[in-house]
């Protein structure tokens, strides 16, 4: 492959400081956060360094999310604001490249260029590796560039090695896209069909992360547990195998993965929870509904009983596993009885936390055109009832942690003086009073207090000899 041409110099006559600045605005899921990082990596060789404010940026990328309500309107209103920034910079003699990326770009590319002609580049999630080429074309003012194809070659093959260190807890994308076509969801249309990144590339990136100091890796994918690949011997492998290979990397203490589909929780993955100490006792496993009628209407391809059985197997493998989920209330056709079945499932399982949403029609998805749309006030009432139950369960889960001693991986300082913050195995933030030298260490903490979204505790000296020596006097 030939290297993309370098971008043309800015046309302005005003002398410019060497180097260019890039401002990223990122909305949506962790995949988008990860993608923004990779776009910055792709642009770094062109001289783009980060800018905190759009006003200081030669290029602004709005990385969008389409998953829920009014995504397009939100994008157009943000673009209206950025247009003013672009105008003001142009008046000062500084051209600005404005790009829209992510799922809204994928879904509404042509519409964006029609309604916001001041946008220079529209690119879908599969084409980030072509950014340098698009920037070059946009800089030559050859007209707006749109690139939202699903190319046959996977974008994974073209991304450079990650440049910026990701820190103690890092994300690593191993899979993209989805073939499941849930009735309500845009992901199969915006992110394309399932594609797994090769095992060797994942292991190489994980090794680089660990060498840079990463101690916890969260594997990302829209359907992360659909990951499949080949081992070094060429044999077909799934996520359970991959986690074993990753857990063998010296220095890597913790592994997580998100987001999973209940259909893809195979025996090997469940065994990984039982057998690999680095695999954290935590799983986000969206169920969406507890009613078999609605699960069928959603095309989820599992029943409520299947989900309960999977949870029972996970709990048998790892009794302390914390479970979280996604719920949609008011999917077309949902009756009071269907909603009651969802509440019953939540009561039976007991979740550590959850995300819950009112169904909102996404144009082009089957559910958007389905009969028996649920009236908004009914959705509102159901969401409130469901969230009250989930809030109680979260409070109960956190309260149950008080008195337990658990390993905490410390990652940063807290807002209060002397405070250091880390994550429990169950993903709660945990605050302790201690020196900053705790950061980077995984240490035993006795949990003493619960707050709405976090816990506090004290270091357990006997199980943390190194930490005890480093403790500052109170």
Segment contacting ligand 5AD (CB under 6 A): 30-38, 170-178, 291-299, 359-367?
359-367
238 binds, among ligand SF4, ligand 5AD, none (CB under 5 to 8 A by kind): none
Can you tell me which of 188, 240, 286, 425 binds ligand 5AD, judged by CB under 6 A? 286
362 binds, among ligand SF4, ligand 5AD, none (CB under 5 to 8 A by kind): ligand 5AD
Query: How far apart (Å, rounded) are the C-alpha atoms in residues 64 and 106?
Result: 9
| Shortest Å distance, C-beta 365 to ligand SF4 | 9
Window 176-205: residues binding ligand SF4 (CB under 6 A)? 178, 180-182, 185, 187-188
Can you tell me which of 357, 397, 410, 426 binds ligand 5AD, judged by CB under 6 A? 357
The angle formed by the CA atoms of residues 105, 330 and 290, to the nearest 5 degrees, is 105
Residue 413 parent element (H or E): strand 405-413
Segment contacting ligand 5AD (CB under 6 A): 52-60, 209-217, 353-361, 421-429?
353-361
Q: CB-wise, 162 or 222, nearer to ligand SF4?
A: 222
Per rule CB under 6 A, is residue 379 in the interface with ligand 5AD?
Answer: no
Give me the DSSP letters along 159-204.
PPPP-S---SEEEEE-EE--S---TT--HHHHT-S-EE--HHHHHH
Per-residue tokens: 52: 């905190």
Q: Which residue of the chain is nearest ligand 5AD when measured via CB? A: 326
Buried b (16+ CB within 10 A) or exposed e, 176-194: bbbebebbbbbbbbbbbeb
- Cα Rg, the chain, nearest whole Å: 24
Instruction: Classify residue 222 as exposed, middle or buried by CB count within 10 Å of its CB (0-12, 13-18, 19+).
Output: buried
Nearest-10 Cα torsion for 314, 315, 320, 323? 60
Classify 258 as helix, strand or coil. strand
Buried b (16+ CB within 10 A) or exposed e, 104-134: bbbbbbeebbeebeebbbbbbbbbbbbbbbb
Per rule CB under 6 A, is residue 28 in the interface with ligand SF4?
Answer: no
Can you tell me which of 148, 288, 342, 464 binds ligand 5AD, judged by CB under 6 A? 288
Q: What share of the chain is helix, strand, coil (3-state, %, to 5)?
A: 40, 20, 40
Contact 435, 461 (CB under 8 A): no
Q: CB-wise, 58 or 338, nearer to ligand 5AD?
A: 338
Per rule CB under 6 A, is residue 263 in the interface with ligand 5AD?
Answer: no
Window 217-276: residues binding ligand SF4 (CB under 6 A)? 222-223, 261
Query: How far apart (Å, rounded) are the C-alpha atoms in residues 194 and 176?
Result: 6
| Shortest Å distance, C-beta 72 to ligand SF4 | 18
| Shortest Å distance, C-beta 31 to ligand SF4 | 10
| Shortest Å distance, C-beta 188 to ligand SF4 | 5
Per rule CB under 6 A, is residue 390 in the interface with ligand SF4?
Answer: no
Per rule CB under 6 A, is residue 184 in the interface with ligand 5AD?
Answer: yes
Sites of contact with ligand 5AD (CB under 6 A): 67-68, 184-185, 286, 288, 326, 328, 357, 359-360, 362
Sites of contact with ligand SF4 (CB under 6 A): 178, 180-182, 185, 187-188, 222-223, 261
């Amino acid at each position: 492959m030939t290297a993309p041409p370098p971008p043309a110099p800015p046309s302005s006559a005003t002398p410019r400081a060497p180097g260019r600045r890039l401002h990223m605005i990122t909305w949506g899921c962790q995949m988008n956060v990860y993608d923004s990082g990779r776009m910055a990596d792709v642009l770094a060789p062109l001289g783009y360094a980060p800018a905190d404010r759009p006003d200081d940026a030669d290029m602004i990328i709005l990385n969008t999310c389409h998953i829920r309500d009014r995504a397009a309107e939100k994008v157009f209103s943000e673009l209206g604001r950025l247009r003013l920034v672009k105008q003001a910079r142009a008046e000062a003699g500084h051209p600005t490249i404005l790009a829209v990326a992510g799922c809204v770009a994928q879904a509404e590319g042509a519409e964006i260029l029609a309604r916001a002609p001041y946008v220079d580049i529209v690119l879908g999630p599969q084409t980030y590796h072509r950014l340098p080429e698009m920037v070059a074309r946009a800089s030559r003012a050859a007209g707006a560039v749109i690139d939202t194809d699903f190319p046959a070659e996977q974008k994974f093959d073209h991304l450079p090695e990650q440049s910026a260190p990701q820190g103690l807890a890092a994300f690593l994308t191993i899979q993209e896209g989805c073939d499941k076509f849930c009735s309500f969801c845009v992901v199969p249309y915006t992110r394309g069909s399932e594609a797994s990144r090769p095992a060797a590339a994942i292991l190489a990136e994980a090794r680089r992360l660990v060498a840079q100091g990463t101690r916890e890796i969260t594997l990302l994918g829209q359907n992360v547990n659909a990951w499949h690949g080949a081992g070094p011997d060429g044999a077909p492998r799934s996520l359970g195998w991959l986690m074993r290979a990753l857990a063998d990397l010296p220095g890597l203490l913790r592994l997580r993965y998100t987001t999973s589909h209940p259909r893809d929780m195979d025996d090997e993955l469940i065994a990984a929870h039982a057998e690999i100490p680095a695999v954290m006792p935590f799983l986000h496993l969206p169920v969406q509904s507890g009613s078999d009628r609605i699960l069928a209407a959603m095309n989820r391809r599992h029943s409520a009983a299947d989900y309960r059985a999977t949870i029972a197997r996970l709990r048998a493998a790892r009794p302390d596993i914390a479970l979280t989920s996604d719920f949609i209330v008011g999917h077309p056709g949902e009756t009071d009885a269907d909603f009651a079945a969802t509440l019953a499932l939540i009561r039976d399982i007991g979740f550590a936390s959850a995300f819950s949403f009112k169904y909102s029609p996404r144009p082009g998805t089957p559910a958007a055109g389905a009969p028996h749309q649920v009236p908004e006030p009914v959705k509102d009432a159901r969401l409130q009832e469901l969230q009250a139950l989930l809030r109680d369960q979260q409070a109960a889960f956190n309260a149950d942690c008080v008195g337990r001693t658990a390993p905490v991986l410390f990652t940063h300082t807290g807002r209060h003086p002397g405070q250091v913050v880390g994550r429990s195995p169950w993903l709660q933030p945990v605050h302790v009073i201690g020196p900053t030298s705790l950061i980077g260490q995984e240490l035993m903490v006795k949990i003493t207090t619960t707050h709405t979204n976090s816990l506090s505790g004290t270091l357990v000296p006997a199980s943390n000899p190194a930490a005890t020596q480093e403790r500052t006097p109170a």
